[in-house]
Amino acid sequence: MWWKNIWNTNKPTGEAEEKLPATEPELINVAVKSDVGNLRTNNEDAAIYMRVADKQIADLRGCLLMVADGMGGHQAGEVASRIATEAISQHYFSRKKTESITEALSHAYRAANSKIYKLASLNQSQRGMGTTCTSLVIAGNQLYYAHVGDSRAYLLKENQLKRITEDHTYVQELLKNKEIDPADAATHPKRNILTNAMGTKPELRVDAGKLEHTFEPGDKILICSDGLSEYFIDSELAQYLSKGSPETIADQLIATAKQRGGHDNITVIVAEHRPTQQLSSPETRDIYIPITREYDII
């Protein structure tokens, strides 16, 4: 598991590499958690929660939350998910000011896709590697998303859970075409086959947009890999999200997923819009990363 310049490598939580003073921080608590699961020996997921110290850029681009679930042998999946989170965050926060958030996200996704695809084409051991990638941007009280693959993003608002993303899977295509019933999707033998992933082709289809719902006090966000979502129906997720702090919720979700099988890596980001007077706990404090930081991708 790799936490991009925010968390120590191979640790689900940890100290920030660098913390800069806040300008006008978002009123959010964020927990980022991951677990290798019960069967895997390595963690091919990656996750970030990132904001920049530059006030002008922060006001323009908000903060970025992202989960990527890599795939490919010889630890290539871990490489793909790491590159995705690095490249997207770097490109997103450095895009032209004239671009909208949705445009900046889409361009950043395509830049990451090109980087992964090129690396895979030059390295036999990484041939065919790729990753899912699901991102949310919180800018003021507005929410924006970008999505590829079958990781998921949800919004809990007034105790109602809204699934923001649509899986890019073979089974989802069957559902859309009404070739199978929803009850059969969870156990379909081809439910894990992706129809769209980052880094596997030279061109990338990105689902991106702005939510019609705003992010208000009491609302919660969940972004997760399929190692979590495969063990829960939406109504269960709503129940978990309705009680507790982001850190507690993330721990409970991961523990339950492991109890129910834990066959894959499990990665969770939970974000909560908090009241003005509430402060972040040490485990879920705001993290600030300078926009001038350079990234070395090997």
pTM, rounded to two decimals: 0.85
How far apart CA 273 and CA 63 sit, in angstroms, is: 13
Report the number of distinct structural domains present in the chain. Answer: 1
E strand intervals along the chain: 2-3, 28-35, 45-52, 63-71, 130-131, 133-139, 142-148, 152-157, 160-163, 207-210, 220-224, 266-273, 288-289
With a pLDDT cut of 90, the percent of the chain lying above it is 70
Q: CB neighbours (10 Å) of residue 139?
A: 18
**CATH for 240:** 3.60.40.10
**Quick one: tokens of 215?**
């992010």
Query: What pairs with residue 220 in β-bridges?
Result: 156, 272
Q: How many other CB atoms are found less than 10 A from the CB of residue 254?
A: 22
**E strands within 118-273?**
130-131, 133-139, 142-148, 152-157, 160-163, 207-210, 220-224, 266-273
> Stretch 159-171: mean pLDDT, rounded?
96
Residues 6+ apart with CB under 8 A from 56: none
* Lowest mean pLDDT, pick from 7-11, 49-53, 158-162, 265-269: 7-11
Q: Report if residue 297 sits inside a domain.
A: no
Residue 231 lies in a domain: yes
Q: Are 66 and 83 in contact (CB under 8 A)?
A: no
Where does the pLDDT of residue 275 fall: very low under 50, low under 70, confident under 90, or very high at 90 and above? low
Tell me the per-residue pLDDT of 176-217, one tens digit each, with 9 for 90 and over. Answer: 888 988 878 878 888 889 999 999 999 999 999 999 999 999
Q: How big is the chain, counted in residues?
A: 298
Give yes or no for a contact between 48 and 204, defined as CB atoms under 8 angstroms apart: no
Range of the domain at 180: 2-289
For residues 52-65, average pLDDT: 93
Q: Residue 298: inside a domain, yes or no? A: no
Confidence band of 18 (pLDDT split at 50, 70, 90) = very low
Q: Is the pLDDT of residue 162 over 90?
A: yes
